[in-house]
Amino acid sequence: MGGSGDDGRFHLAYNFTVGRLAEVIVTDTHGGGHLGYDRIQPNDLIVADGGYGYRVSVATVRKQQAHLITRVRPL
C-alpha cells in the first residue's frame, strides 16, 4: 500500500569501518534521493542501489575524488 502523501524520506549513510550510521537526513516528499545529501570525502567508497546508476551520480562522487559501486543497465 502506498503512502498518504505526507511521508518523509530518510537518507542514510552507513560507515562500514566503524559499523554504525554515519549520517541521517530527513526530508519531506520533495527531497528525492541523490548523493548530494552525503558528505563524501576523497577515497570514500559509496555503495548505492540501482537508482543511483546514472551519470549525475557518478559525476557527484568522482568530483569528490571518491568511488561508486552501483548497478547499471546499459541501454
User: Which domain, by its residues, includes 62?
Assistant: 9-69
Query: Residue 2 falls within a domain, yes or no?
Result: no
Contact indicator for 71, 48 with CB cutoff of 8 Å: no
Domains of the chain: total = 1
Query: Residue 30 falls within a domain, yes or no?
Result: yes
- Taking only the tens place, the pLDDT of each residue in 6-65 is 678 888 888 888 999 988 888 887 767 777 777 888 999 988 888 888 888 889 899 999
- Taking only the tens place, the pLDDT of each residue in 48-58 is 888 888 888 88
Query: Residue 61 falls within a domain, yes or no?
Result: yes
Query: Residue 75 falls within a domain, yes or no?
Result: no
User: Which residues does 55 contact at the CB level (< 8 Å), separation at least 6?
Assistant: none
Query: Residue 23 falls within a domain, yes or no?
Result: yes
The gap between the terminal CA atoms of the chain, to the nearest Å, is 31
